[in-house]
Amino acid sequence: MRKTGIFLLAFLLSLGFSSCDSNAAEKSLRSENEGKIATANENTTEGAVVYLTEDSFKSLVWNYNINPQEWVYEGELPAVIDFYADWCGPCKRVAPIMDKLAKEYNGRVIIYKVDTDANRELSSVFGIRSIPSVMFIPKNGKPAMQPGAMQEEQYKQIIEEFVLGNKKNEK
């Protein structure tokens, strides 16, 4: 019985280490992307989600230090920003939707992600209290924030109507 318990413990620990390694690989990939993003042009995203840091947010989206009272969008394209955390279950369900939207709207809308744990200042600036929270930014006008996870079709509708301004004609 004792040998079985030790074997089971060793097996469970090995599972834990392998999941940490895959998570570390994901974070490493994200860190590589963040390094490129700080100087990246929005048109070079090639349909991929772009991870932002506080510094890259200020240069690509809005520099709230220079314009604290007024929204001045720095981007060339309308945008969607997914505020998330690695430990958040609903955020993990939204992530593949954001990846798909980045490909589908490539060249028309840029999809950003902000890790709220790593970028606490941004979370504070926008008053993020629940995650995921998604910000929709039209090219002209003020952004809108939507807390909570939604279905892919709901994100598409908001992108089409609010972000891109493709209003449906009502009869």
Catalytic residues: 88, 91
In total, the chain counts a number of residues equal to 171
Q: How far apart are the C-alpha atoms of 39 and 149, rounded to whole Å?
A: 30
Q: Give me the sheet containing 133-137, strands edge to edge.
A: 50-52, 110-115, 79-84, 133-137, 144-147
Q: How far apart are the C-alpha atoms of 129 and 12, rounded to whole Å?
A: 34
Q: How far apart are the C-alpha atoms of 93 and 131, rounded to whole Å?
A: 12
SS (H, E, C) 89-118: HHHHHHHHHHHHHHHHCCCCCEEEEEECCC
- Going by the DSSP 8-state scheme, the letter that residue 87 receives in this structure is T
